[in-house]
Amino acid sequence: MKTSFAAAVTCLGLLGALGSPSRAGADVITDWNDKACAIVAKLGPGAGGHRAMAVVQVSVYDAVSAIGTDGGKYKPYIAKLAAPAGASVAAAVAAANHVTLAELVPSEKSSIDSTYQAAIDHIPDGQPKVDGIAIGEKAAAAVLARAAADGSNAPDTYRPRTTPGTYVPTLTPVFTQWPGRTPWVMTRADQFRPAPPPSISSEIWLRDYNEVKSLGAKNSTTRTAEQTAIARFWEETRPLLYHPVLRPVATQPGRSIAQNAHLYAAAAMAIDDALIAVFDAKYAYLFWRPITAIRNGGGNASLTQDVGWTPLIATPMHPEYPCAHCVSSGAIAAVIEAELGSASLPILSSSSPTADGAVRQWRSLNEFMEEVQAARIYDGVHYRNSAQVGTALGQSVGKLVVQKF
């Protein structure tokens, strides 16, 4: 694993400089994606931010496609629009971001408005600007209308299995509505539901239990400093960790704005659909987390109980199987692989706020996906089989998005 731990400016760090000049190799798509990541980070950890980024990036894609800068190669996905000839792409992208972000992250409306105004002020006045703004706003309105009816705000009816009078944890499980959401590309949440987790009498279970018990403990004596660094890096869950992985691809010479709009929309939808799929499986199987299994002896006489075992990081408030981080990395890797085809993979990189801005790099997609798998074991919140199954699930969803979008 190639690593660098120099200080980096993450998407989150951009919150203080949303109106800053473009970085080298960037275009209007990548610039606004950075800004959107920073704003959406305010929604907090978990799947909600990935849903928001899908709404943003699909709106941007539909606006750009409606203008038809690549000779009509790309067609709008949700908002079936056609822009007047000559409409400004930069204005359309800015408007699509502005409308979606203001709706999805209302607490940041002031900074969103000022960022939008700064972007619009750099575009020459005239009919192309007016038409671009109009098509961006229309695309955003159409995608937001779809999102409003996707089921993410359905009442939380899930309750842990129990009997009257029996104690259950008082923290509420999260994202219980996700299995009922309308996917972007999948036909249903359980389209790729994996087989059940391994039996607690299986060799796989014995292996996985002992591995996470050793490597994932808060005070582990077997986890190396490098492994701990990896664990801390992938403690982050928000889009600002995943979307920068696309930038080395998006900034390759010769790429068009339309290509990048398609790339970011495909990746955002793939991650969001993959999270719908993973929460479907999680709440279908309700498999126990390492902290519960290890403190209770793993349900197998061959295993050793540790009633005081604690993981390196706080355990997420949803079932264990499969791994959601792994689903996300598998989905984005499938999109990148399809995007590049036979072309060489550039060095991928990202930075993480949970690792003090550390930067990590990957020279292959397998290296990237395998690091995410390992990280969640080192974190003490997942088993190896769950990580591998999660990666495969994410890849299946990503390949479907590439095929259908």
Which two structure tokens, joined as six digits, stand for 321?
């199987």
Using an 8 Å Cβ cutoff, are 325 and 375 in contact?
yes
The tens digit of pLDDT for each residue in 306-343 reads 999 999 999 999 999 999 999 999 999 999 999 999 99
Q: Considering the domain boundaries, does residue 309 fall inside one? A: yes
Output the domain CATH number for residue 56. 1.10.606.20
What is the residue whose two structure tokens read 């950890």?
45
Decide if pLDDT at 156 tops 50: yes
Q: Considering the domain boundaries, does residue 127 fall inside one? A: yes
Specify which residues 349 forms β-bridges with: 361
Most confident of 61-70, 150-159, 163-172: 61-70
Q: What is the mean pLDDT of residues 243-259?
A: 97
Q: Identify the domain containing residue 204 by its residue range.
A: 3-152+200-404
Q: Considering the domain boundaries, does residue 53 fall inside one? A: yes
DSSP 265-322: HHHHHHHHHHHHHHHHHHHHH-PPPHHHHHHTGGG-TTSPP-TT--BSSPPPSS--SS
Our count of domains for the chain comes to: 1
Q: Considering the domain boundaries, does residue 192 fall inside one? A: no
Q: Considering the domain boundaries, does residue 186 fall inside one? A: no
Q: Considering the domain boundaries, does residue 164 fall inside one? A: no
Q: Considering the domain boundaries, does residue 180 fall inside one? A: no
Model confidence, pTM: 0.93
Q: Considering the domain boundaries, does residue 181 fall inside one? A: no
